[in-house]
Amino acid sequence: METHIYKSTIELITAIADFFVQIAQDSIAARGEFDVALSGGKSPKILYKKLASLEYKKQVDWNKVNFFFADERYVPANDPQNNAKMVRELLFAPLNIPASRIFAVDTSLPPEKAAEEYTAQIVSHFSGKEYEFDLILLGLGENAHTASLFPYTNVLNDSSVSAQSVFLKQQNTYRITMTAPLINQARNIAFLVYGKPKAEAVYHVLEGEYDFEKYPAQLIIPEQGNLHWYLDKDAASLLHNKMQE
Ligand code: 6PG
């Protein structure tokens, strides 16, 4: 695991954008395509804007990128809470990504069916090969959830390599999420976390006692791939081991 800590959010976002570009270029050079799963929420919005900017746009052959989602909120496709809608506006539309390269969760289906159908999209995309994403981008909630692996939910104990639906009692809503075993098959996993309110969760996940029911992001340990944590100094402020870049 590598932890990268930056003085400012701007430096952090530039570093993870450069990392994204590097993995994209290497994957395309090695296998002809780049399979990436994105996260939702607020934190990655500035990263997506940066990737769509003139400077970054020209660094990747975007027609060779296949986009998936680590998780999705169970709301209609045009709802402001929908992760794919957010990414469509900030990244896919500005970069003219063809619909055939976007693998989104169909939230018009019942939750379990939506998860099954999304798993089927993944299975068919990798057709017979291991479900190894080149890169999975993740965020971290203040309660140490990642993707939609929330504390004390059944999906935390799901050992299948798939996407599953999960009901969140506190929010009275469903989500569709990749399971930890699916995420852990990735060649590269990168967490993007910044801001003081995330500091405790970062500390518990990285240096606290192991308790995945309470701190689900602890489940993210790639089988063979690389794990990177991209943090700003505020999110890293409670860590004991911190080497700032
Ligand atoms: C989502 C996510 C989720 C997110 C964290 C952090 O759909 O909300 O994919 O796992 O990464 O909740 O979200 P913020 O960046 O908004 O704090």
**Full-prediction pTM beyond 0.85?**
yes
Phi then psi dihedrals of residue 15, to 5 deg: -65, -45
CA of 30 to the centre of ligand 1 (A): 31
Pocket test for ligand 1, best of 43, 138, 219 (most atoms within 8 A of CB): 43
Each residue's pLDDT tens digit, 137-195: 999 999 999 999 999 999 999 999 999 999 999 999 999 999 999 999 999 999 999 99
**Alpha helix (H) ranges present in 52-110?**
54-57, 83-87, 93-95
pLDDT at 245: 67
- Given a cut of 80, is residue 243 above it in pLDDT? no
**Residues for the chain: how many in total?**
245
Rounded to whole angstroms, the Cα distance separating 235 from 12 reads 11
Cα pseudo-dihedral 72, 73, 76, 79, rounded to 10: -110
Name the residue among 159, 152, 72 with its Cα closest to residue 117: 72
Contact 227, 2 (CB under 8 A): yes
Residues in contact with ligand 1 (CB, 6 Å cut-off): 39-43, 70-71, 73, 83, 139-141, 145-147
Q: For 192-219, what is each residue's pLDDT tens digit?
A: 999 999 999 999 999 999 999 999 999 9
Model pLDDT for residues 84-111, shown as the tens digit of each residue:
999 999 999 999 999 999 999 999 999 9
Residue 244: the pLDDT is 63
What's the CA gap between 56 and 217, in Å, rounded? 29
Query: In this predicted structure, what is the pLDDT of residue 128?
Result: 83
Q: Which of the four pLDDT bands, split at 50, 70 and 90, describes residue 76?
A: very high
CA distances 15 to 1, 91, 115, 197, Å, are 16, 18, 33, 21
Instruction: Tell me the CA–centroid distance for residue 6 and ligand 1, in Å.
Output: 20
